[in-house]
Amino acid sequence: MLINKKMLVFFLCLVFILVGSANILAEEPRFGGHLRVGLQSESVPSLDLHQTGVTITYHVGWHILETLFTLDEEYKVIPMLAKDYEVSDDGLKYTIWLRENVKFHNQSTMDAHDVVASLERWAALAGVGRRTLENVNNLTIENDYTIVFELKEPMGIFLLNLAIPNQGAYIYPKELVEEFGEEDMGDTIIGTGPFKLDEWIRGRHIQVSRFDDYSPVDFDATGYGGKKVAYVDRITFLPFPDSTVRAAAVETGSVHQADFAPTIEYQRLEAHPNVNTWMAGPRGFDALMVNARSELLSDPLIRQAILAAAHAEEVARIRYDDEAVWSLSPSIFPEGSAWYSEAGAEYYNQANPERARELLEEAGYDGTPLKLMTSTGRQEHGITFKRQLEAAGFVVEDTIVEWATLVSRRGDPELWDLYTTGFTWRADPTQLAFLDPNFAGWWEHPRKEELVEKMEIEHAFEKRFEYWEEIQELIYEDVPLIKLADYKTFRISHVDLKNYINMIDIFFWNTWLD
């Protein structure tokens, strides 16, 4: 009997050791396999990443294309195709040294000529590219692997602009740039990335495979950069427009990863043995854009009344199915970000209809209807917010239209006073769309303009943060928009997908399949 017990203990130990070592083995990187990713849209508008900043385009495209710089795990700028850089003391001269022997997928070697041709195309096609190169007096090729930018004015966000992924400064071979000019490159996409494009059948799939001659950087992987390894042989991006089906596809292992899983199923998926759940972000925040050109809203008291009436928490509870998906914060940038600030916090999520009434009375509000425009995707926002405004004494005229219609209507200041939208989190405050006076909402404020300009020039973070805090304060005082809750992206992956790095944007280099 005793022997049996001893044997049992021995046997159990053996089992534990074996299971343990199997687990350790499973964590070892493994080459090979075919990774399948479920996309939330049935088609990708373009893989030519100079053309559009739509998220899904670079979530696929940046496996193929690379930029000179990218962002690390703290969203700070690090070199990628660039080896190193130097900024002159006056901040007007940037020297960038390129990595040598970096091969494009067509086997040509990347050099300064490719980089300059690509940057010029980027400036012609992308807004951020235009703004960046407009400030460049001279762009010279010093030798095959050195380029020099001479700026008109110092630009604190110069390198960041070269690093951002959405409609970023991706580098193509010069011949390709010359062949296509400003035209879309279709499926002739050639880059330096760890994967090359194999096949793109519109509406069916996009397939990329490992680029054997990829030359990674020589420092450890961090964020979107560092050493990239293509462990899987192939990645196929498949369209799954329905979120329930997308989630079921991960459960059954038909695909290994899917973004924007249905939040209503959060609890169930979290408990599922085949599924790993991830919350990415906050990815951005929900907001109501205020029309600065509206006659009714030209009175700051009325704008303040809207802000006082806003109950962000109620809107979020009604819009989102699970609390894991949203959070409340007065800061435009999420907690954990270097730009987090509580400036103006007292104005956030006031839920104070009495105060709103007082402000309206003070303003002498005459019952002119407030035109609230909502897209079908954010109906809950519109309906809840309408009720909150009515409780404060506003007369509200609401229209619900689908997204394409909203985008076209918001261009006409006569058609709306408020519209529901969302903003994605950006690496730098100067990239926030609503700070641009051309963005529908047309917020113009001399002090804001001055602060944004200062931020663009300044290099030192402390100074820049000071400017940003003042801008955020202004956002709450002048009310160009009403910030609601921060939202996260609920994404899921199959347990077979290993070493998945959960950043704001998805990527599949350095991940492997069990």
SS3 of 234-298:
EEEEEECCCHHHHHHHHHCCCCCEECCCCHHHHHHHHHCCCEEEEEEEEEEEEEEEECCCCCHHH
Measured from the CB of residue 431, what is the shortest distance to another protein in angstroms?
9
Binding to another protein in span 104-143, by CB under 8 A = 127
Residue 465: which H helix or E strand, with range?
helix 461-478
Question: If you compute the radius of gyration of the chain from its CA atoms, what whole number of angstroms results?
Answer: 26
Hey, is 217 helix, strand or coil? Answer: coil
Residue 405 CA to residue 320 CA, distance in Å, equals: 24
Residue 367 CB burial class (10 angstroms; 0-12, 13-18, ≥19): exposed
Residue 102 CA to residue 109 CA, distance in Å, equals: 6
Distances (CA, A) of 116 to 128, 131, 170, 177: 16, 16, 11, 10
Binding to another protein by CB under 8 A, coded x per residue (else -) over 158-197, reads: --------xx--------------x-x-x-----------
Binding to another protein in span 357-416, by CB under 8 A = 401-409, 411
Member of 201, 336, 346, 446 binding another protein (CB under 8 A): 201
**440 interacts with another protein by CB under 8 A:** yes
Measured from the CB of residue 403, what is the shortest distance to another protein in angstroms?
6
Report the residue number, 425 or 512, with the smaller CB distance to another protein.
425
Q: β-strand 257-258 against 396-401: which pairing, if any?
A: unpaired
Q: Which stretch binds another protein (CB under 8 A): 41-49, 172-180, 299-307, 496-504?
A: 41-49
Binding to another protein in span 49-78, by CB under 8 A = 51-55
Measured from the CB of residue 70, what is the shortest distance to another protein in angstroms?
19
- Cα 240 versus chain centre, distance: 20
Report the residue number, 10 or 403, with the smaller CB distance to another protein.
403
Member of 313, 322, 397, 436 binding another protein (CB under 8 A): 436
> What contacts 438, CB < 8 A, 6 or more positions away?
none
**251 interacts with another protein by CB under 8 A:** yes
406, 419 Cβ separation under 8 angstroms: yes
Q: Which two tokens stand for residue 471?
A: 């801008």
Residue 331 CA to residue 504 CA, distance in Å, equals: 18
Member of 45, 198, 213, 342 binding another protein (CB under 8 A): 45
Measured from the CB of residue 107, what is the shortest distance to another protein in angstroms?
26
**264 interacts with another protein by CB under 8 A:** no
Residue 20 CB burial class (10 angstroms; 0-12, 13-18, ≥19): exposed
Residue 246 CA to residue 261 CA, distance in Å, equals: 7
**207 interacts with another protein by CB under 8 A:** no
Report the residue number, 165 or 225, with the smaller CB distance to another protein.
165
Measured from the CB of residue 358, what is the shortest distance to another protein in angstroms?
34
Residue 482 CA to residue 444 CA, distance in Å, equals: 16
Q: Which two tokens stand for residue 69?
A: 């710089």
Report the residue number, 240 or 508, with the smaller CB distance to another protein.
240
Report the residue number, 311 or 410, with the smaller CB distance to another protein.
410
Q: Which two tokens stand for residue 106?
A: 């067509």
Measured from the CB of residue 116, what is the shortest distance to another protein in angstroms?
23
Measured from the CB of residue 130, what is the shortest distance to another protein in angstroms?
10
Member of 264, 338, 400, 433 binding another protein (CB under 8 A): 433
**268 interacts with another protein by CB under 8 A:** no
**100 interacts with another protein by CB under 8 A:** no
Q: Which residues bind another protein (CB under 8 A)?
A: 42-43, 45-46, 51-55, 127, 166-167, 182, 184, 186, 201-204, 238-242, 244-245, 248-249, 251-252, 254, 401-409, 411, 421-424, 433, 436, 438-440
